Amino acid sequence: MKKGFTLIELLIVIVILGILATFLVPKIMQKPDEARVAKAKNDIMAIETALKMYKMDNGVYPTTMQGLKALIQKPSIPPIPKHYKEGGYLDSSSVPKDPWGNPYIYRSPGDNSRPYEIISLGADGKEGGSGVNADIKSWEIH
């Protein structure tokens, strides 16, 4: 009989890796802005995992209007999820912000037939840029 990892086990590993990266990367790299970029990428991957769990339970991703808040609180605007997980899909009581304190941009559906998009505008909080000011986009970090 073959045994594999469950989605919950994989989610726990991703969360642990994200927590480790949050604390270890700044100490190892001694470059705070680069560490923030790494944290933003880990945050986006954790949000993507939560979005996938939401879709598995409810058949659709939260809409742009429902936003990432749908991962911590059952949406009250249609489409109302029928099988919303008690306690939500993120271990947070507020909508996550990027490492520079700005809200992540969430769109569903996204451009180019993507089911969703999650974007951090980087250190400068403005669209575009390069280096640590570059936008961090969910479809570019995989």
Instruction: Tell me the pLDDT tens digit for each residue of 82-114.
Output: 999 999 999 888 888 999 999 999 999 999 999
Please name each of the domains of the chain with its CATH number: 7-140 (3.30.700.10)
Which residues, in sequence order, are bridge partners of residue 107? 117
Burial class (CB in 10 A: 0-12, 13-18, 19+), 74: middle
Amino acid at 86: E
The whole-angstrom separation of Cα 52 and Cα 133 is 28
**Percent residues over pLDDT 70 in the chain:** 94
Q: How confident is the model at residue 16 (pLDDT cuts 50, 70, 90)?
A: confident
pTM: 0.77
**Rounded to whole angstroms, how far apart are CA atoms 120 and 23?**
20
Is the backbone of residue 119 left (phi > 0), alpha (psi -120 to 50) or beta?
beta
Residue pair 76/62 in contact (Cβ under 8 Å)? The answer is no
Radius of gyration, alpha carbons of the chain = 16
Burial group, residue 23, by CB count within 10 angstroms (0-12, 13-18, 19+) = exposed
Q: Are 98 and 120 in contact (CB under 8 A)?
A: yes
Q: pLDDT band for position 6 (50/70/90)? A: confident
